[in-house]
Amino acid sequence: MRFASRVNRLAGKGAEAWTLHAKALDQQHETGKDVLFLTVGEPDFDTPLAIQQAAIASMRSGNTHYSPIVGTKALRSAIADWHTELTDQPVSAEQVVVTSGAQCALFCAMQCLAQPGDEVIATDPRYSTYEAVIGATGADLVSVPLLPDRNFTLDLASLRAAVTPRTRVILLNSPHNPTGAVLHPDTLEAVAALCCEADVWLVSDEVYGALTYGPRHRSPAALPGMEDRCVVVSSLSKSHAMTGWRVGWAIAPEAMAGHLYNLVLSMLYSCPGFIQDASVVAIREASGEVRRMQAAYRRRRDLMAPWLDALPGLSCASPEGGMFVMLDVRRSGLDAQSFAERLLAEERVAVLPGEGFGKQAAGFCRLSLGFSDETLTEACRRIEAFTLRLEAENTLLTAAP
Ligand SMILES: Cc1ncc(COP(=O)(O)O)c(C=O)c1O
């Protein structure tokens, strides 16, 4: 049987990024021993109780039927208000389209903006699903390198150089997965000016917007000239520990929101009503819990990054946002894949080799902060034991190659 050629554009490096995770699951299954999975970007917190109770109450009251296609007015208004509070950009509920997680919003936004013959610019490294999301539109992905020796910050000259007459969209993510880098106001301003000058769309993935550890989150959507050319994608997954509820959204200019409506109508036909009711409670009533979780991620970052940075053969910069730390293993004498494989085999700690996120992340491993202080302390101990063994084997290099 024949498949559409599109299926080939859905597979790629993004799917390969998870090989080590699958191997760790096998190892745990076969040996029955405790593996510490620092692979997954999954909050370890339970969804706050008030949100769970709101979902149950809504379900009990009979809200188990179809809902408005792109979200209830109450949820769209709550999202619009929260976005304004977080970013200072006033938006109306009509600009908000509720989807099944930010992933679905990204997919929908890209389907509305890019087509075969276009180019979409994204960073290298980048979140692992971007390649397939862009690929599914038929457009070509153009990578802009985020250099490890510049702390993976966006270099404007490289971004500018990547823009061609075929460029239709620039896709950015701040705070960034996997690197934890945050786009600062001057960079955002320059990106916005470039988008206006080159007449391209900006899709801004802000799923970690509530998880910044320095200055507050900024959205490029709030900048002059962006009101007609910026789509913000976000969700409750990380901020509210609600990954499994699948609530996300796109905030788009009204004309685009109309196209998103048609797309959501034909592929999703609304998110469950009781989940939307609970999401209103999440946004309107759970800000204290959100702040507590954010403080916990910051504490874990401060626990892990300096510890790992002090180990022989390793470096670890403190991320400015998000829920990951990037461990630089370039001086360990091992490439990231071998480092991760040996760490799993010898110390039962699973981390993701950076290559799965892009060439520039080769030599790095991504570690998730979605675990208790005790688990992360134990993971650091095991990584320390492993690097001391590497030191004894004399494999460490004195400087990065
Ligand atoms: C950068 C980035 N964008 C989008 C997503 C998807 O989020 P959601 O669970 O809301 O679909 C993730 C999930 O890890 C992510 O890291």
136 CA to centre of ligand 1 in angstroms = 17
Give the chain's residues under pLDDT 50.
none
Ligand 1, atom 6, lies closest to the CA of: 103
- pLDDT of res. 33: 82
- pLDDT of res. 12: 65
Ligand 1, atom 14, lies closest to the CA of: 41
Q: Ligand 1 pocket test: pick from 207, 232, 243 the residue with the most ligand atoms within 8 Å of its Cβ.
A: 207
- Ligand 1: residues within 6 Å at CB? 41, 101-103, 127, 173, 177, 205, 207, 235, 237, 243, 248
- pLDDT of res. 401: 54
- pLDDT of res. 30: 86
Helix, strand, or coil (residue 216): coil
Greatest distance between any 2 Cα atoms in the chain: 66
100 CA to centre of ligand 1 in angstroms = 11
Domain ranges (residues) in the chain: 6-46+288-387, 49-286
* Tens-place pLDDT, residues 81-106: 999 998 889 999 999 999 999 999 99
Radius of gyration of the chain (CA): 21
Q: Ligand 1 pocket test: pick from 235, 239, 245, 249 the residue with the most ligand atoms within 8 Å of its Cβ.
A: 235
Predicted TM-score (pTM) of the model is 0.95
Which CATH code, of 1.10.645.10, 3.40.50.300, 3.90.1150.10, 3.30.200.20, is assigned to 6-46+288-387? 3.90.1150.10
388 CA to centre of ligand 1 in angstroms = 35
Q: Take residue 247 and report the two structure tokens written for it.
A: 């609530």
- pLDDT of res. 398: 62
Judge whether 37 and 350 are in contact, CB under 8 Å: yes
- pLDDT of res. 27: 87
263-286 b/e with 16+ CB inside 10 Å = b?
A: bbeeebebbbbbbbbbbbbbbeeb
Question: What is the atom index within ligand 1 of the atom nearest the CA of 103?
Answer: 11
Identity of residue 128: S
27 CA to centre of ligand 1 in angstroms = 27
Q: Name, in order, each residue with C-beta under 8 angstroms of 17's C-beta and a sequence gap of 6 or more.
A: 128, 352, 355, 356, 357
Look at the block and give the residue holding tokens 């320095």.
214
- pLDDT of res. 394: 77
* C-alpha span between 206 and 55 (Å, rounded): 25
Question: What is the atom index within ligand 1 of the atom nearest the CA of 100?
Answer: 11
Question: What is the atom index within ligand 1 of the atom nearest the CA of 105?
Answer: 11
CA 182 from centre of chain: 12
42 CA to centre of ligand 1 in angstroms = 10
Look at the block and give the residue holding tokens 């509305």.
112
**Which helix (H) or strand (E) element contains residue 202?**
strand 201-205
CATH number of 49-286: 3.40.640.10
| Phi, psi (rounded to 5 degrees) for 245 | -85, -20
- pLDDT of res. 8: 87
Question: What is the atom index within ligand 1 of the atom nearest the CA of 176?
Answer: 1
